Structures are given as structure tokens and as C-alpha cells.
Chains A and B, each alone.
Chain A
Amino acid sequence: MNTTRLIAIVLLIIVVGLPMAAGTYWVGLVTQIFIFGLLALAVDLLLGHAGLFSLCHAAFFAVAAYTTSILQVRYGVSTQWAVPAGLLAGTSLGLLFGLSVRTRGVYFILVTMAMGYIIWGVGYRWSAFTGGDSGITNVPAPMVSGFQISTAEQFYYVVLAVLLVVLALYQKLVRSPFGLVLRGIKSGEPRMRSLGFNPARHLYVAFVISAFMASLAGVLYVYHNRFINPVAASLHVNMEAVLMAIVGGSGTLLGPFIGAALVLGLRNWVSSFFEFHLAVMGLVFIAVVIWAPGGVIGLLRRYSSGKEK
């Protein structure tokens, strides 16, 4: 327990101190890791706790990002209204797509994938509204009560602050009765019904919460990237979010962020000298599933419990 607290404090010092020690490139990369880690955490609320494998969270991510950026760029809406509007749009889509929790297993995967494709297709084809392939460009830096968050370092701290709040709430959620019910559903849904639960209702609420988290990641992403196009809603992003959660350690708090760091770090590094970096990512995925199904966190736990014995 004390080691966990120690690791948490060391991590906190590192992430708070990073912009003072590292250049803009690293600050940008870590901001990106935070944002995609948040998306992976959203996916993992369903995957790691409730046992649902969703392939449509990029849709919430992208719809929130598009809404915020279109309002801000095209209609001149201020950040403090564009952001809630983006969150509302993404979460509302979650209210609709959440009806997919009526299905299970492979059908859930297929239904969510199809829904994700719808949003991708709309973003791509409805070019009069979404800008099509070239998307929405020139998203301005966010302005909060007269203060413009213009530098990479300032934005880094904004993302970090949002992240710490989300992590604290997420931890509370998974330790609450609600979180236990999700794990119960994952472990044995028929038994849950006989204990008086209606699993679909709990899964629906979890789905909407997770859609909200993905929307939050999308809004942060569009202010970080200053640009959004349909790639953000693609199956590729969905797969990557799942990959991050599994590689880092599904069902844990920090696993999705470790996964995001590995996936994004590896991609940046490998793609600098190797054209087929996607193939490398595929091999990593296969290796993790075979040799470390608990991801990095699972490996660390196995190692530390082995040492204690």
C-alpha cells in the first residue's frame, strides 16, 4: 500500500515538473498521451470493468471535437460555451448509441463498430458541414475568462488538472457499489439477474458515463491539435484506444495511460525509420495478448508478488 502511494507521489512530481525539464516536443507528446490515455480509460470502463468491448468511442471523441471546433471556428462561440456544447453533443450521442448494451459479445462489437462507421462516414461525406477530408482547421487556442491558454506548457497543465480530477472521480466510481455491479456483470451476468439486478440498466449508465469521458478527451484533443478531420472517428482510433487499455493493463487506473505512452511513443519512434509501423503495432498487440494478458500493470504485479514470496 505504501509503495503504491510512493509511486503515485513520484509520478505526480514527474508530470508536474516535466515542462520545466523537457522541451516543447516532449510536452506535446505527453499531452497527447494524457488525452489518448483518457480516451482509453473511457473505453476501459466498459472493457475492463463491465466486460464490453466497444468499437465506437472514437465517435463520441470526434463528435465532441467537431461540435466544439465548428462552434468556435465558424460561429465564433467562446470556449466556455463551445466546450460544454461539445461535451453535451458527444454524451447525447452516447445516450443513443448506449442502446447497444442490449446486445452482448461479438454482436456488441459489431453493432458498436457499425455505429462508429456511421459517424466516420458522416464526417467524411457531409463536407459542407464538416469540411470533409480536410476537416476543421485553424481552431484557436482556448480562452477562459479573458485568459488565453496559448503555449504548449499552459495547455499541458490544463489537461493535467482535468485528468487528475477525472482520475479521482473514476477511482471513486470503480470502488463504489456501481463499480462492483459492473464487475459482477462481467463475472456472471445470469447470476446478477437472479440477485435482483437488471444488468442492461447498469451497463447503459456505464456506457453514457464512458461516452462523456470520451467526449472530454475529444474536446481536449481539438484544442491540442487545433485541427480535426474524420480520421479521429475512424476504426483505427477505436482499435488504438482498445490496444492502449489492453497493453497497459485493462481494469486498472493507470494502465490505459501506460498503454497510451507505449503505443504513441512506439509509433513516433518506429515511424521515424520504418514505413510499416502499423505492422509493428500489430505484433506488439499479439505479443501482449499471448504473453502478458494483464498488460504492463499485470506484468509488474506478477513480478512484485513473485518477489515477496
Chain B
Amino acid sequence: MNQFALSLQSVVKMFGGVRAVDGVSLQVAPGERRVVIGPNGAGKTSLFHCISGVIRPTSGVIQCFGEDITQLSEPQRTQKGVGRTFQISSVFAELTVLENVALAVLGIRQQKWGMWSAVNQLKGLREKAAEQLALVGLPGKEEVMVKSLSYGERRQLELVLALVNGPKLLLLDEPCAGLSPSERQRLFSIIKNLPRSITMLMIEHDMDIALALADRVTVLHRGEMILEGSAQEVRQNPQVREVYFGQV
């Protein structure tokens, strides 16, 4: 019985004839912060989709805290404590911030079937929302429509939706994509300050952010894992420099 937070064994995902994920095996220890890097088309997002259950791998095994989750659906994995954010912001634009948080809270609870009492009577919702929004720097925005939030604020809300149920394993797909340098720095420090009870797997293009956050780094290239090591090892590895930084 392994005690890894996340363990992949030879995970393969084929799209037609393309091997988007080609036999990736990796282990992430509980509390670890792992960053996945790789050039465009390396299979990072496909790998994430396999882990969160958006797609099923063609072959291979995925275990979360020792439990085989390979055949579970995406909502079932969320119930097991897997949370994620998306590369393209996917908060609910036509709802208020509070309604967004309410949906995230309801997702893993039976109250989502409640038809009698109103949403804003949900016990503890406002307190929970206020606490989480303050944490990511959106205090007092509960009643604001999400479509009138700035892009940066939406990225922050995106993080709230993934955090509100206290996931054991958090998957972050380029959380800082499209942000200005100052917004990027702010979101990065929020992520860096998250408690170690959350095991984190993050895709990041920005090497400085990635290497500053990561305990260990996994490098993907054309669907294959070419290296796993500390930030320092990755920075100095000639093969990584070649595929990632484009140096020959």
C-alpha cells in the first residue's frame, strides 16, 4: 500500500494516433508541491485531464492516497478530495461571486438537491465565502456579478472555487496565465501561502514562478516525462535547456 498523495503508473492517453500522454509514471508525496513544465503540446493539460477525470487514460493506473481512481468519473474524484482550476478561466460569469462560491460548496454535499429553502439561507455559507474571499484578496465582493470582475479577479475566484471544500490534492492549470506581473506576483504568493495539508500539482509556463514554488519539478516533452528533479537540477539539466528553452 503506497502512501503517495498521487501516483501514476504508465499513464497513456491516445487521441487517434497521437500519444498525447506517453507512459508517464510519477509519484507525489503528501504535502509536496510539484510543478509540471514543458513546451507547448508537451501533454501537460492532457495529463491534468487524466488526473482530474475530464478524460480517461487509454491505459495505466492513477492512485490518489493509495486508492485507485482510474475508473472514477470527474464528480466522483471531486468527492474524494481532488480540486482543480482551469487554464481558461471558467467561473460562472452570469452569477454573483457568492453564488459561485455556493455552487462550489454544494458540489460535494447532498444539499445540492434541496428545493425548499433558499440558497442564501444555507448554513455557514456567507461566513465561509467571506473567509475564502478575504484569503485571495476579494473581500466584500459577494454580491458582485462575476462578469463585471476583472480578469485577474476571476483568476482569484477560480482559486476560491477549487479551495472552498478543502481539497487534499489541488491541481492548478496555469493559475497565473494572462495576468499582469503584479497580479501574477499576488496570486503566486497566495498559492505559496496555502497550507501544506494540500498537496499541489501545478502546470506553469513562467519558469521563475514554477521553480520558486516547486519542491520538485517534472518535465514533459512530447507526452513523455524526460526528467524529474529539484528546481536546481532542472535548471541545470542540458536536455531540459534544449527542449524547453529552445537552446541547441
Contacts and interface: CB of A to CB of B under 8 A. Distances in A.
A192 B118 contact: no
B78 A176 contact: no
A190 interface: yes
B75 A180 contact: no
Contact of A197 (B91, B112, B118): B112
Nearest to B106: A177
Contacts of A198: 73, 75
A181 B105 CA distance: 11
B52 interface: yes
Range, interface on chain B: 20 to 34
Contacts of B74: 193-194
A172 interface: yes
Interface stretch (B30-38, B95-103, B127-135, B218-226): B95-103
B158 to A, nearest CB: 9
Contact of A176 (B75, B90, B114): B114
Contacts of A194: 52, 54, 74, 78, 84, 86
Most buried by B among A184, A187, A195: A195
Contact of B94 (A172, A187, A192, A195): A187
Contacts of B107: 192, 195-197
A187 B92 contact: yes
A125 interface: no
Contacts of A188: 90-93
Given A195-B107, A198-B75, A183 B117 contact: no
B237 interface: no
Most buried by B among A178, A191, A192, A202: A191
Interface in A66-104: none
B103 A180 contact: yes
B92 A191 contact: yes
A139 B232 CA distance: 85
Interface in B201-222: none
B119 A177 contact: yes
Contact of A184 (B52, B103, B118): B103
A307 interface: no
B29 interface: no
Given A172-B115, A178-B113, A183 B78 contact: no
Nearest to B147: A187
B78 A178 contact: no
Contacts of B92: 183-184, 187-188, 191
Contacts of B94: 183, 186-187
Contacts, number: 97
A27 B95 CA distance: 39
A184 B93 CA distance: 9
A55 B35 CA distance: 48
B90 to A, nearest CB: 4
Contacts of A192: 103, 107
Contacts of B106: 177, 180-181, 195, 197
A176 B99 CA distance: 11
Interface string A150-181: 00000000000000000000001101111111
A194 B84 CA distance: 7
Contacts of A178: 112-115
Contact of B78 (A172, A173, A177, A195): A195
B90 A190 contact: yes
B97 to A, nearest CB: 13
Interface string A185-221: 0111011111111100010010000000000000000
B42 interface: no
Contact of A172 (B54, B86, B116): B116
B115 to A, nearest CB: 5
Nearest to A191: B90
A36 B83 CA distance: 44
B118 A183 contact: no
A177 B114 contact: yes
B111 interface: yes
Contacts of B190: none
Contacts of B122: 177
Contacts of B78: 193-196
Contacts of A173: 115
B95 to A, nearest CB: 6
B102 A177 contact: yes
Given A181-B106, A184-B103, A193-B75, A176 B115 contact: yes
Given A178-B112, A183-B95, A196-B79, 4 more contacts: A180-B106, A181-B112, A196-B165, A197-B106
21 contacts: A172-B115, A172-B116, A177-B111, A179-B115, A180-B119, A181-B103, A183-B95, A184-B103, A187-B93, A193-B54, A193-B73, A193-B75, A194-B52, A194-B78, A194-B86, A195-B103, A195-B106, A195-B161, A196-B107, A198-B73, A202-B112
Interface of B: 52, 54, 73-75, 78-79, 84, 86, 90-95, 99, 102-104, 106-108, 111-119, 122, 161, 165
